[in-house]
Amino acid sequence: MSGHHHDHDHAHDHEHDNHYSDMQARVKALETLLTEKGLIDPAAIDAIVETYETKVGPRNGARVVAKSWADPDFADWLARDATAAIASLGYTGRQGEHMRAVFNTPQTHNLVVCTLCSCYPWSVLGLPPVWYKAPAYRSRAVIDPRGVLEEFGVALPEDTNIRVWDSTAELRYLVIPVRPSGTEGWSEAALADLVSRDAMIGTGLALSPEAAR
């Protein structure tokens, strides 16, 4: 079973998508110019992008998840008003978009997609992974979420319900993965190390203490 939640303002989303395409086009043009003039090394740019994609960006979200695991009051606030709870830690959206936290349980797994464009919570997850924008992910995550998860190496029990949440320009989702067992008494910093970017999109799970070592 997979529920699919649609609450789109379609025109706005496409406009939003074009906004990013325009920005990306300008970045690409600048990059090409600077590379041609020998001022920058494309490999250095790749390294910077990699840092934002996998290190800096998702660390913000990982701290949000870890705090929600360690602090029940914060978890309640996150469930009620994720935008405010996340902002309290100093992370706010680039365009003032609202955030919603969806909590995984042993019975329910949440998966995030943006079927119309690539709406993504940059402030907590950094840069979107390339596959997030790919038409194959965008369409198949809705039609066959279980199959998509298996391709990411996430095999869920048959009785686990998968809910697919569709991001929009106005509303972005953050998946709160299930806290791994064996982490009782861990500090928030140690817990945050168990949280990957993919776990916060729903295409992964939090690391077990063993896997983290």
Catalytic residues: 114, 117-119
Which residues are 184's β-sheet partners?
A: none
CA angle 160, 161, 164 (to 5 degrees): 135
In our burial notation (b when 16+ CB lie closer than 10 A, e otherwise), range 186-207 reads bebeebbbbbbbbbbbbbbbbb
- In whole angstroms, what is the distance from residue 110 CA to residue 201 CA? 8
* Size of the chain, expressed as the number of residues it contains: 213
